[in-house]
Amino acid sequence: MESCFSGKTLLIGVLLQAGIACAAEPIKSDFPNRPITMVVGYVTGGFTDLFARVVSDELGVRLGQRVIVENKPGAGGTIAGAFVSKSAPDGYTLLIASPPHVISPLLQEKQPYAPANDFRSTGLLASTPSVLVASPYAPFNTLKELIAYGKANPGKLNYASGSIGATSHLSLELLKIEAGLDILHVPYKGSAPIALDLLAGRIDLAIDNVLFYSPYIKDGRVKPIAAVGRQRSSLLPNVETFTELGYPAIEAQAWYMVLAPSGTPQAIIDRLNKELHIVMQKPSVQERMAGADFFSGTPKDGDTLLRSELQKWGKVVRQAKIKAE
C-alpha cells in the first residue's frame, strides 16, 4: 500500500508541476488572423498619409496580413482619433499619430478623446525636424536680429502657419512668449501658398518641415533663422538650433507613431513594436522618407512622449489663448 500511495503521490506531483510550467508560459496569440485597418486623420497626399502607406505595406508583409489604410480627415485629425479611441482594443484598428493628435483636442471646448489616456503607443518610429525661415526681404538675417527688430517694431511683423494649432503655429507662439514679441499670426491652408507669399515678401516668417524648405534655403530664396528640432538637421547642418541660440524651450518635432486603443493587450503592443521597428530599418523605407530621423523606442517611450507633448503644448495653448475656429 505504501508503494502504491507513493506512486500516486509522485504522479500527482508531476502533473502539478507540469500544470505550473504551462501556466508560467505566455499564452500564444494568433494575432493577426485577419486584415488590420490603419487610420489616417488627413487627406491623401500629405506626409502623414505617405508615412502610413509606406509603413502599412511593409508591416503587412511582416505580419502576414493586409494592412489597409483608411483616411478619415477633418477637425485637425480628431475625427480619426475619436474613431480609433472607440474601436475594439484588439490590435485590428490602429492610428497613425503626429503632433496634432495631441494639440487639436486642446483647442476644442469638448475634447473628443484623451490624447494619452485613450491610447497605447507602439513606440516612437520617426520624426522630421522643422526650421524657422524668413522672407528674403526681411530686415534681419539672424534670430538675434529678428528679436531686436521685433521688439523695436511691435505688431509690424507677421508669420504664417498651415493651420491653427499646428506645431508651426504653436512654436512661433512659444517664441513670442519666450522673447516677449508681438507678431501677427496669419493662418493658411497648407505649405505651398505660404511659400509663395513668403518668397514674395507678403509674409515675414514661417516654420515648416526641413524637407519642404531646404531647397528654398539652398537656393537662397528664403533666409534660415533657426532649426526647431532637438539637434541640427542633416539637410541643414549649418543652421543652429534654438537651443544653441539660447532658447531651449523652443523645441518641436513632427513625430510619428502608431497608436492602438487603450486596453489593447501588452502582447499585441509588443508584437507591433517589434515588427514596426524592423520595418523602419529597411533601406527601402528610409529611402522613401529621406531626411527623417528613425527611432527604436519602446511602447513606454511613446506613451511618455504623448504625456510630455500634452503638457508642453497645453501650456502654450493656455498662455496664448488659442482656440479652434
Q: In 3D, which of 56, 50, 69, 46 has the Cα closest to residue 276?
A: 56
For the whole model, what pTM was predicted? 0.78
pLDDT tens for the 325 residues of the chain, in order: 444 434 444 344 443 444 443 333 343 468 999 999 999 998 787 778 888 999 999 999 999 999 999 999 888 889 999 999 999 999 999 999 999 899 999 988 888 999 999 999 999 999 888 899 999 999 999 999 999 999 999 999 999 987 788 888 889 999 999 999 999 999 887 788 899 999 999 999 999 888 889 899 999 999 999 999 778 888 889 999 999 999 998 888 889 999 999 999 999 999 999 999 999 999 999 888 877 888 888 999 999 999 999 998 998 888 888 887 6
Could you tell me the CA-to-CA distances from 152 to 58, 159, 202, 285 in Å, in that order? 53, 17, 20, 47
Q: In 3D, which of 118, 106, 95, 87 has the Cα closest to residue 49?
A: 95
Exposure string of 43-71, with b = 16+ CB inside 10 Å and e = fewer, is eeebbbbebbbbbbbbbbebbebebebeb
Q: Look up residue 316 and give its DSSP letter.
A: H
Give me the domains of the chain, ranges plus CATH numbers.
Answer: 36-127+253-320 (3.40.190.150), 129-227 (3.40.190.10)
Query: How many Å apart are CA 313 and CA 165, to the nearest integer?
Result: 9
State how beta strands 158-161 and 184-187 pair. parallel
